[in-house]
Amino acid sequence: MSYNIEQIREIAPSVFTTEKASHLTDKYIQTPTIKVVEDLMNLGWEVTKVQEVKSRKYKGFQKHLIMFANPNIIIKGANGDDSQPQILLTNSHDGKAAFNFRVGIFRFVCSNGLVISDADFGVVSIRHMNYTFESLQAKVAEMITKLPGLVNKINLFKTKTLTETQMVEFATKAAALRTKKRVNIMDVLTPTRKEDDGNDLWLVFNRVQEKILGGSYTSGGRKARSVKNFQMDIKLNEQLFELAESYL
């Protein structure tokens, strides 16, 4: 599903804020997020997800997330496990953030968006005062050129076989990133679909990531809740990817 401008406005009004917050000085240069959204649309990217943080103090200026996908960029995988790169844009109009861009990978087989955190990639930023359409083009081009490196990293995950002990260890460490309560590790490791049944690092990582973020496990005797806050979602995704890298 892709979102049009009016749908974005309904979900996250802060994306359209043009005035600076009252606590900011005249030296603060503000570029409305909608300007970046429209520019990315002109570059062929469609909006696939929209969220904003709930805020009373900075309502209209709070942090928000816009996720984009380009229908012309698909990563082909074995046995139909295709995926699509996504650009995750986060910003706020309270003077606390620049335009930050990350790359995510959307797996069609499980409709599960995940953030790829890689030492060779990191977060790409553009300050409000330095924003131009040309600077955005340059950042997008930079991200696209690094996609093959991310694909190679995923392929390395697929060639790494984990032992039963390593899988339990991985799931245990992953669960600890979210909760200190006792977790049923078999809930975390059991695949939701046959496409994720296996013991290579990529399959284990994906099913653990989906369970940890989706809350599909028992913690402290109760069913866990899914992660709703996009800031926590991004943080956990990055930590999980870094954890997976440690097994290479």
What is the phi/psi pair of residue 190, to 5°?
-70, 125
Report the pLDDT value the prediction gives residue 218, as an integer from 0 to 100: 75
- Any domain includes 152: no
Q: Assess whether 123 and 200 both reside in one domain.
A: no
Question: Is 151 a member of any domain?
Answer: no
Same domain, 168 and 73: no
Instruction: Please report whether residue 182 resides in a domain.
Output: yes
Mean pLDDT per 10-residue run, the chain (248 residues)?
A: 95 90 68 94 96 82 92 83 88 82 82 62 81 93 85 90 98 93 90 88 92 80 84 90 95
Question: What's the chain's length in residues?
Answer: 248
Residues 120 and 216 in one domain: no
pLDDT at residue 121, rounded to an integer:
66
In a domain, 209, yes or no: yes
Quick one: 213 and 100 in the same domain?
A: no
Are 238 and 206 in a shared domain?
A: yes
Nearest to 66 by CA among 83, 96, 43, 91: 91
Instruction: Report pLDDT for 128.
Output: 83
114 within a domain of the structure (yes/no): yes
Residue 142 within any structural domain of the chain: yes
pTM of the model: 0.86
Q: What is the pLDDT of residue 95?
A: 75
Query: pLDDT value at position 149?
Result: 83
Q: How many domains does the chain have?
A: 2
Residue 188 forms part of a structural domain? yes
Question: Would you say residue 80 lies in a domain?
Answer: yes
Residues contacting residue 74 through CB under 8 Å, at least 6 positions apart: 82, 83, 84
The structure tokens listed for 236 are 């956990």
For residues 20 and 97, membership in a common domain is answered with yes
- Structural domain for 124, as ranges: 5-146
